[in-house]
Every structure is written in C-alpha cells, then in structure tokens.
Structure 1
Amino acid sequence: MRRSHEDVAPAVWRALQTYQRAIPPKALGWYASPDGDMLPLDEQGWEHTRKKMLERTWGAEWRVSLSEDPGEAGGYHFSYDGRKLDDDLFSRDERATSGVSFSFPTEYLLEHGPAHLRALALDLGRELPFSFGQASLAVVSHPGAWGAVPNDLLGLLHRYWGLDLQDLGETSRNIGTGARGAYWLTFLGQPLLGQLGGLEALRQQLAFPEVTFEPMEDTRWLLTLGEWPDVMDTETGTVPAWYRALARQLAPYLREEHVDWLNLHKGYSHGWSRRLCE
C-alpha cells in the first residue's frame, strides 16, 4: 500500500481482527516486544499492539509481528510494516510502502478448502488500499530469522516455481506501486491496474477459463488463477499458461527485492521474480 501508516492503520487493525476470528483461538501466541524479545501474547500484549498501531504518533516506522510459535517457521503469522512516507527517511523513496501479511499453515487450506481461503482473503483485503497483493503457497520465516535458512532451500525453489519467498520487510521496502509476479490470488489496485491498460485489456490477455475476475471497492480487482494454488513442479509438469500470461503483463512493473540473507548469488532475486515471464 503506497500509503502512510496513519492512513492505513485502522483498516489494518480491523483486518487483523478478521484474521483472528478466522483462525483457531490462541493461534497467535507471541509478539515482538520493543526490545526485540518474543513475549506471550496475553491481554497486555494485545493492548501493547493496539496502542502501537492506533495511538503511537511518533516515529517513522511501525513494525508488528505476531506469531503462533517464536521458535518455528510457518504456521499462523501476522506481520505489519507501517511507514510515514512523508518522513525524511522515505519522502524521496518511491519504493517504500506500508505492507501487511497474514500467514496460514498448509493444513488450514487442506481443511477448509480453496474457496474458503479465497473468501477470507477477500475479506482481509476489502478495506486495504493496495496497489498490489497476493496469496500463494510460500516459504515463511520469522522476521530476522532468514539468516538461518539452509541453502538447500534453493533446490526447492528451483523445482517448485509456485512457492513464494515471504519476507514482508523486503517487499514493503521495495515494491512501491509495482508488482511481485503472478500468483494464485493476485490483487490489483491503482495505479498498477491503470498502468496495465485497465481491466478490459487485461481480460483480453487472460482469456482462459481458469482465470476469474472479481470486482472490489475503489476499482480494485481480484484475479484467481485456477481453483487451487499450483506448486508448479517443473520436474513433473509444466507451468500453466495463464500464470505465464499474467506474469508477462506484469513484467515491466516487477520490483527487485534484496535477498542477501539467503546468501544467493547476485541477481538471483531478479531472475526469480521473472521466472514465469519466459
């Protein structure tokens, strides 16, 4: 969201309440304290989080991390990176945004089905003034823990092109009003949708029965690429044509993210974001 924290924080807080109602009770059990320690998310922790998001007026950044388990990757996880975009730190940086993410374990998708998760994603994004958003299968780690990711993760990414690398901090610092790629659920708002030529131009380029378009408020749209998210196992199958078609349309607006924490060779993130554009 290319908006400042004060403009989006109330909507993000409401989306967090929607997320909390949809997941098991106490699924979010820990939060990051001001000194960086992970503390139990009790009533005091929730009040600290609420005040930080809705009442704190000083500063240039607001970071919130709520997780199921402080020692495990994956699972349920809420992350928010809010920024004051007219602050000296960001006023000349067109890449910086305020971003939010909601993570679910794979078991949630398998238990409730793709239609349920798609409807929930719509509810979570309904009030958020996004230019771009996504939902997909992903490798998720806690903020600050990516340095411990094993290098054999690269082998998984090379094989399974439908996996995303989820690091909200990197995305929100670099995406601006651009895109990250084609995903199972791809959310498009302004100005990105207009830069793509508008809805009708996009419909013509994505004339596949597997692709559906659903309107949202304020000329925002949700594109769904198939009934289920596709892991895209390149050793046993091919990349669906509708993913490639959307990726090619988004190619001029893809934004490179810095992934030094994975010890990747220089330029890998650029190549990864464009893997479906061939």
Structure 2
Amino acid sequence: MSKLRGPGGDVLADNPEVTLTRYALGLTLYLDEPYVWATEGAAALLRRFLQLAPAERLTWYTTSTLPEWHRFTPRVADDVLASLSVSWADVRVRHLFTFRLVDDLGAPGLGFIYRELDAARGRRGFLQVLLPETLDPKQLLQLAKEIGERWPLLCGVGGYVGTWNEWVKSTAFWSLYRSSQRYLGLDIQDPDAMSWCVGEGLPGSNWLTLVGDGLAGKLGMDLAALKARSWTPEVHVHTLKGTTLIQAGEAPTLGDVNALEYPSAYAEVARVLELHFVKKPTEFWGGFQEEQKTGAWLRRFVFPEDLR
C-alpha cells in the first residue's frame, strides 16, 4: 500500500521513510558510440552535472563493480570521476557496467545514472540526469544543447520525469500508472527495458526530444523537413552537431488534467513524431503491464481513446 503525496511522490504506507516514486526535472538519454562514452563522455557529463546539482544533497554512489553503496562527499569526487572511465589504452565497452550517484536509495529526486551496454548484443547504453524540479528549466535546455553538440546520442527525452524505487518496482509502477492518468506531461522511462527497443524507434516525446542523426537516418526521418515545418510559435527545433532537439514550449509542464492543463505543444510534437516511436515497447511494470497500456501511454497525445 502507498500514500499519495503529489505527482510521483509516493511512500510506503507501512514505512514512510521508503520512497516509492518522485518526480524530477531530467534527461533520459540513449547513447550512440559507446566507446566515446566509456572513455570520456560519461565522466565529462558527470562533471557538468556536479556543477548544476546541489552537491550537498548527493549522498550515495555505487558501481556494478562495488559490493555496496558508499557515501559521496566532495573529497571523493575525483576518485568517483576516475572510476567512471576507461583509458584509451584499454578502450572497451564494459557491458552491463553501471554507475549511480543519488540523493535517495529509494526513488531519487536528484541523481546521475549511467549504464554501459554493448550495442553488438542488441541493447543501447543510457544515461539519466535528474535535477530538482525547482531548477530553472532553461538550465536543463542548455545542458541538452551542450550534450547534443558534443556527444553522440541515439535519442532522448527531457522534462519532468517520474523516478522509482527499483527494490519495489512493481508497487512503484502502480503509483506511476496512477500519476500518468492525471499528469500527461510527466514522462515515464524504464531505460533498462527500453534499451532493447530504442535502436528501432523513439522512446516517446516530452518537453525536449532529441534525435540523433544516425537513428533519424535509420528511421527515414526527414530532419530538414522537420526543421522547416510550420510549427506553432511554442515549438522550436534546434539543429545541433549530430542531433536535432525539438522543444515543446518555453518551459516544461506536468499537464495536470485536474487543473485543466493540457500540454498542447507536447501533443503537437507527439503527433508529428509518433510514426517513429517504438512500435512494441517492453511493458512497464505495475498497472502498465497488467492493463497492457505502455504503448497506449506512449501515444497518449495521439490516440487518447486507447488509454480508456
């Protein structure tokens, strides 16, 4: 059982110290050219994250090579950064290598999560940046532009995103399922599951949607036509080095239907990109899986009747 405390803010009713879900202002990025990320990209982006994040709130870190979580303090930051990269002399993809830096061992509201996966084995690596929901969204937009200019991406989404407790994943996703019915602008990602699918399509769209040139070519997307399209004034298309960034509105929104907030710019972008969404995404847990609604949720702005 859980007790609702706001959009994406549930705790266990019988243990309120355990967070089930939260929401944050974040980017979920699916990565191209894993060697670049393994040698320098992930560490460089972590440094940039530490410039933006309130570092005093970051308390725990671990990797898949460590047996337990460790306390994070500014004194260990250099060692943590060093542990994230491989040298050019030993360049390789560390398949399944994972790094996590968070403020909460349950559902993080602040964090940096990186997973290295070998595309030759059918999956794509991912990186998730979680920042406070009170952060000026312009800073997230600027970060997305910097990443798109400098680092190789397959695709990504940014805006308000639900986070979840991996130790009680099914219960957490029931909470997110309820939130998804009220907050249309709240993005939900299960990057580990989506890593199997994003080589064949986009993982949805949100306030910010990033499309790498390589994936766009594979999907037959005409990026020049996308840029030249007659969008409403709320939508902006930014052409970056190797990536196209579509911005749906000046700022992100939760799209609270109870407050009659409809994210029309989100819907406009979704209707244009839906043809290129993942066709059969792996079902999210909880209510999404039980009701078989993951695909319908992904296309909620295009076929809202499918959510009923």
State which of 72, 76, 82 in structure 2 corresponds to 1:50: 82
TM-score if structure 2 supplies the norm length?
Answer: 0.75
User: Counterparts of 1:55-94 in structure 2 under 5 Å?
Assistant: 55=87, 57=92, 59-71=94-106, 73-86=107-120, 90=121, 93=122
Letter in 2 for 1:102: V
Displacement of 1:175 in angstroms is: 1.5
Displacement of 1:67 in angstroms is: 0.6
Q: What residue number does 1:166 align with?
A: 189
State which of 212, 220, 223 in structure 2 corresponds to 1:189: 212
Q: Do the aligned partners of 1:4 and 1:98 also contact (CA within 8 Å) in 2? A: no
Q: Do the aligned partners of 2:190 and 2:284 also contact (CA within 8 Å) in 1? A: no
State the alpha-carbon separation in 2 of the partners of residues 58 and 137 from structure 1: 30
Deviates more, 1:241-250 or 1:60-69: 241-250
Displacement of 1:35 in angstroms is: 5.0
Displacement of 1:196 in angstroms is: 5.2
> What is the identity percentage for the equivalent residue pairs of Structure 1 and Structure 2?
22
User: Counterparts of 1:27-38 in structure 2 under 5 Å?
Assistant: 27-33=57-63, 34=65, 36-38=67-69
TM-score if structure 1 supplies the norm length?
Answer: 0.82
Q: Check 1:184–1:59 CA distance in 2 against 1; reply closer, same or farther (3 A cut).
A: closer
Displacement of 1:17 in angstroms is: 0.6
Higher strand share: 2
User: Counterparts of 1:58-137 in structure 2 under 5 Å?
Assistant: 59-71=94-106, 73-86=107-120, 90=121, 93=122, 96-108=123-135, 113-137=136-160
Deviates more, 1:73-82 or 1:190-199: 190-199
Q: What residue number does 2:302 align with?
A: 277
Q: Where does structure 2 lack aligned partners over 5 or more consecutive residues? A: 1-29, 304-308
* RMSD of aligned Cα (Å): 2.7
Letter in 2 for 1:82: E
Displacement of 1:68 in angstroms is: 1.5
Q: Do the aligned partners of 2:184 and 2:263 also contact (CA within 8 Å) in 1? A: no
Displacement of 1:127 in angstroms is: 2.0
Deviates more, 1:140-149 or 1:62-71: 140-149
Q: Do the aligned partners of 1:5 and 1:84 also contact (CA within 8 Å) in 2? A: yes
Q: What residue number does 2:5 align with?
A: none
Deviates more, 1:148-157 or 1:76-85: 148-157
Aligned: 1:22 with 2:56: no
Letter in 1 for 2:302: C
